[in-house]
Structure 1
Amino acid sequence: MANASEERRQRGIEDGWICVGAFAGAHGVRGDVRLKSFTDVPSALFAYPSLHKGANGPALKVKLLRDAPDGFIVRVDGVMNREDAQALKGTRLYVSREALEAEDEDEFYLADLIGLEARDASGAVLGIVRAVENFGAEDLLELVLTKPLKGLGRHAFIPFRKAYVPVVDIRGGFAEIAFDDWVETHISERDPDDMEEGAK
């Protein structure tokens, strides 16, 4: 199982920097670039003081031109043609973690959850938080479990609700998970036919 620091790095969180978007290639022939935002409110990407090319990389001047179905169309200072724009494809944009500081010390950002140890109420380690996903209904913590769970394997998606995640201790480096409650509820919601199929 990957360690917490590696999970954070893979998810675009490293050395005090957080990935908030990425270029997706050229748009048209004038040097415009497609940009995907990874922030909860996509347009919030343009409210940060500066966007950097890579963690601790050079600051880029990015001008919003218009919305697009999968993000935005932007103009990047110094990019003059389609070839230059296409060369940016896959480049991640970062902001300093300091730019995302919560106003209250008890507040945190979803990105802060990535890499935390997942523990049960007794303090036993269940695994780590690999990612925070949202498939349309609510935020889910993706856990990579230390031990595979029968019928589910090594990955579990826990609803980010107080009932299932009663404690988040960013400074302590862990989130408490009501894992047994989740397992009981999750299994009861599964189709009996699926359970029988999985048991074969």
Structure 2
Amino acid sequence: MTNASEERRQRGVEDGWISVGAFAGSHGVRGDVRLKSFTDVPQALFSYPALHKGAGGPALKLKLLREAKDGFIVRVEGVMNREDAQALKGTKIYVPRDALQAEDEDEFYLADLIGLEARDPSGDVVGLVRAVENFGAEDLLELVLVTPLKGLGRHAFIPFRKAFVPVVDVKAGYVEILFDDWVKTQVSERDSDDAEKGGK
């Protein structure tokens, strides 16, 4: 199973830095760059005091030109042509974790959950939080499981709500998952589907 630090790095969370966006290639011939924001409110990307090229990398000076499909069109200081702009494609933009400091001690950012252990109520580790996804309905914790589940494999998507995730302790490095309760919902849903198919 991938270790926590590697999982966090892959998901844009590195040593006190969090990725808030990424360049998506050139736009036009003047060196303008397409930029995708990872923040909940896309425009918030431009409110940080400083944006950095890579975790701990040099500060970037961006000028917002306009909104575009799936992001923004920006001008980056020092990027003068299409080739330079295209060379930035895939480069992530980071801010110091301190810039995202939660206002309350009990608050946290979803990025803080990546890499945490997922434990059941008895304290046994059932997996690792690989990502926080949202496919339109609600936030889901993607777990890489220690032991694959029959019919589901090694990945599980747990609804991020109190009914299944009653405890989040970022400082202690874990979330508590009512894993057995979640598994029962998966089995019952599958049984229901099978029953419907059998009745047809």
Give the Cα separation in 2 of the matches to 1:177 and 1:68. Answer: 39
- The Cα of 1:186 is off from its aligned counterpart by 2.1
Once the two structures are superposed, what CA deviation does each residue of 1:115-146 show, in whole Å capped at 9, x if it has no partner? 00000111111011000001111110000000
Once the two structures are superposed, what CA deviation does each residue of 1:144-184 show, in whole Å capped at 9, x if it has no partner? 00000010000000010011100000011000001111111
Superposed, 1:82-161 pairs within 5 Å as 82-161=82-161
Please name the residue that 2:165 is paired with. Answer: 165
Once the two structures are superposed, what CA deviation does each residue of 1:56-111 show, in whole Å capped at 9, x if it has no partner? 00000111111111111111111111111111111110000010110111000000
Please name the residue that 2:174 is paired with. Answer: 174
Number of residue pairs matched by the alignment: 196
The gaps in structure 1 that reach 5 residues or longer are none
Amino acid at match of 1:35: L
Give the Cα separation in 2 of the matches to 1:63 and 1:136. Answer: 31
Give the Cα separation in 2 of the matches to 1:43 and 1:178. Answer: 36
* TM-score, normalised by the number of residues in structure 1: 0.94
What RMSD, in angstroms, separates the aligned Cα atoms of the two structures?
A: 1.5
Please name the residue that 1:19 is paired with. Answer: 19
* TM-score, normalised by the number of residues in structure 2: 0.94
Please name the residue that 1:189 is paired with. Answer: 189
Give the Cα separation in 1 of the matches to 2:26 and 2:168. Answer: 41
Give the Cα separation in 2 of the matches to 1:75 and 1:8. Answer: 29
Give the Cα separation in 2 of the matches to 1:119 and 1:152. Answer: 19
- The Cα of 1:189 is off from its aligned counterpart by 2.2
Please name the residue that 1:64 is paired with. Answer: 64
Q: Which moved more, 1:37-46 or 1:116-125?
A: 37-46
- The Cα of 1:54 is off from its aligned counterpart by 0.4
**Aligned pair in 2 of structure 1 residues 177, 78: CA closer, same or farther (>3 Å)?**
same
Amino acid at match of 2:173: G
Give the Cα separation in 1 of the matches to 2:168 and 2:185. Answer: 21
Please name the residue that 1:50 is paired with. Answer: 50
Q: Percent identity?
A: 81
Runs of 4+ with deviation above 4 angstroms: 193-196
Task: Classify the secondary structure of the residue corresponding to 1:143.
Answer: strand
